[in-house]
Amino acid sequence: QQQVKQSPQSLIVQKGGISIINCAYENTAFDYFPWYQQFPGKGPALLIAIRPDVSEKKEGRFTISFNKSAKQFSLHIMDSQPGDSATYFCAASTKGGTGTASKLTFGTGTRLQVTL
């Protein structure tokens, strides 16, 4: 049972364009939503994260938009560059109880290719 649904599976964007990746979740107990970026042959690395008390978070060219009522969040990459070509994963977690660790549930990933 997939708790975080991610789309599209792959995306091709021209240099300078906007890349948009969408995620949806069902578990209303999720309260932390990070995005990870993975280059070939490497492990994922945290790109940006948001908590549901805000509707948008921006870091440089990367923006997360969050819609709590729709249980959706998305990553926007402005002015996309060839160096942004990578696989992007959305994720979600709940707050763990005392003495436990909360765990990330990942989406299935989006392979982004930015062409010249």
Give me the residues that bind other proteins (CB under 8 A), please: 6, 9, 32, 34, 36, 41-46, 49, 89, 91, 93, 95-96, 99-109
What SS3 state is found at 47?
Answer: strand
Alpha carbon of residue 9 to chain centroid: 13
Angle at 83 between CA 78 and CA 84, to 5 degrees: 45
Q: How far is the CB of 7 from other proteins (least distance, A)?
A: 12
Angle at 78 between CA 72 and CA 79, to 5 degrees: 155
Q: How far is the CB of 15 from other proteins (least distance, A)?
A: 27
Q: How far is the CB of 17 from other proteins (least distance, A)?
A: 25
Nearer to other proteins by Cβ, of 18 and 46: the residue is 46
Nearest to 6 by CA among 20, 18, 103: 20
Nearer to other proteins by Cβ, of 25 and 36: the residue is 36
